[in-house]
């Protein structure tokens, strides 16, 4: 099944995990963008891991991950809400070659950081932010470091992405794992390390059966993921209205039109002089 996150539990070992498959959602995230394959594949891996972590959201809100750097690849951002509605983008520097070659993340990003932002829908809640230096040569290693730092639990990730799909496997050691089997976590990691890149695209039940045939795997019902980044004309008009009629009129007189680019959703909004009367309707005088 495409566009799903399937969580599971190795009940005999107290190890949890999840399998993610993004097909239609991942292709929609790329639509209208001409990414170099190296940047595209890294963004796809980041979309997969964001869906994996986002599947743990319990309350309405939005989880956002940003990888920021100073190299040819300047920015990757992916976010999702509690319904696993995803969106994201990657940005290259102006000097980046159009045929950007695959390379370890430090070579593409330079010095950088991973930024997590968690925003709940509660009116009084402020966004929570966490900043973690980039440690690792791959998206998987960066997020393994983040998870072990933030959740204090050993975690492993296996990720893949290309132009049509983004997939991943996640494992995390729970507190009672050593009590059930002191060698269980090491054994499961060794088994998972045998996974081939193409196997990550297999249905969750088949993948887990291949990797852990002797384990007691409890597979839960999958959660559906989608790409969701609709146009929001009202939000843009409210932003323009906040500038005031005089400033808007000046911009229109100078440029002829106002162009707003929504980077993350890849939408463009264009407004001509008629927007002034739309935002600030003329006052009709009543004769007495």
Helix axes 37-54, 139-151, angle to 10 degrees: 30
**Coil, helix or strand for 4?**
strand
The whole-number pLDDT of residue 254 equals: 86
* Cβ atoms of residues 25 and 164 within 8 Å: no
Ramachandran bin of 256, using left for φ above 0, alpha for ψ from -120 to 50, beta for the remaining angles: left
Q: Give the tokens for residue 225.
A: 């993921």
Residue that is last in its domain, among 199, 227, 255: 227
Same-domain check for residues 86 and 11: yes
- Per residue of the chain (288 residues), give pLDDT as tens: 589 999 999 998 999 999 999 999 999 999 989 898 999 999 999 999 999 999 988 888 999 999 998 888 899 999 999 999 999 999 988 777 766 777 778 888 888 899 999 988 765 678 889 899 999 999 999 999 999 988 889 999 999 999 999 999 999 999 988 888 889 999 999 999 999 999 999 999 999 999 999 999 999 999 999 999 988 888 888 888 888 888 888 888 888 888 988 888 888 999 988 888 888 887 766 555
**pLDDT score recorded for residue 123:** 57
Q: What is the per-residue pLDDT for 124? A: 62
Question: How many distinct structural domains can be found in the chain?
Answer: 2
Question: Where are the extended beta strands (E) located within the chain?
Answer: 4-10, 15-22, 61-69, 73-81, 85-92, 112-120, 128-133, 155-161, 166-173, 217-219, 223-224, 226-227, 258-262, 267-271
| Domain range enclosing 85 | 4-227
Residue 286 lies in a domain: no
Q: How far apart are CA 161 and CA 30, in angstroms?
A: 12
- Is residue 14 within 8 Å of 175, Cβ to Cβ? yes
Q: Is 90 within the bounds of a domain?
A: yes
Domain shared by 199 and 242, yes or no: no
164 and 131 together in one domain: yes
Helices (H), 152-200: 177-180, 184-192
Question: Which pLDDT score is estimated for 110?
Answer: 82
Per the CB < 8 A criterion, the answer to whether 29 and 86 are in contact is yes
Shared domain check, 220 and 271: no
Give the pLDDT of residue 219: 97
Q: Is 195 helix (H, G, I), strand (E, B) or coil?
A: coil
For residues 275 and 198, give the distance between their C-alpha atoms in angstroms, rounded to a whole number: 51
Backbone angles phi, psi at 215, to 5 degrees: -100, 160
Residue 285: inside a domain, yes or no?
no
Instruction: Name the domain boundary from 183, 201, 227.
Output: 227
pLDDT at position 24 = 97
CATH for 38: 3.55.30.10
Q: What is the CATH number of the domain that holds 267?
A: 3.90.1280.10
């Amino acid at each position: 099944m495409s566009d799903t996150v399937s969580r599971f539990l190795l009940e005999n070992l107290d190890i949890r995990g999840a399998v993610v498959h993004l097909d239609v959602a991942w292709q929609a995230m790329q639509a209208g963008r001409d990414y170099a394959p190296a940047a595209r594949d890294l963004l796809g891996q980041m979309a997969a891991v964001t869906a994996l972590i986002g599947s743990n959201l319990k309350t309405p809100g939005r989880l956002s991950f940003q990888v920021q750097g100073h190299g040819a690849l300047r920015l990757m951002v992916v976010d999702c809400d509690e319904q696993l509605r995803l969106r994201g983008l990657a940005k290259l520097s102006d000097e980046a070659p159009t045929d950007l070659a695959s390379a370890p993340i430090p070579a593409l990003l330079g010095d950088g950081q991973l930024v997590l932002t968690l925003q709940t829908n509660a009116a009084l809640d402020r966004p929570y932010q966490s900043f973690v230096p980039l440690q690792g040569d791959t998206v998987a290693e960066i997020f393994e470091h983040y998870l072990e730092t933030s959740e204090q639990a050993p975690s492993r990730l296996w990720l893949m992405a290309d132009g049509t799909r983004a997939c991943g496997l996640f494992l995390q050691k729970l507190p009672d794992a050593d009590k059930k089997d002191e060698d269980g976590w090491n054994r499961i990691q060794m088994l998972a390390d045998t996974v081939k890149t193409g196997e990550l695209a297999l249905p969750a039940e088949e993948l887990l059966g291949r990797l852990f045939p002797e384990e007691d795997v409890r597979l839960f019902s999958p959660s559906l993921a989608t790409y969701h980044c609709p146009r929001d004309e009202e939000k843009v008009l409210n932003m323009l209205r906040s500038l005031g009629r005089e400033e808007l009129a000046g911009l229109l007189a100078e440029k002829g039109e106002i162009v707003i680019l929504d980077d993350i959703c890849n939408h463009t909004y264009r407004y001509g002089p008629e927007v002034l009367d739309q935002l600030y309707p003329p006052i009709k005088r009543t004769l007495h």
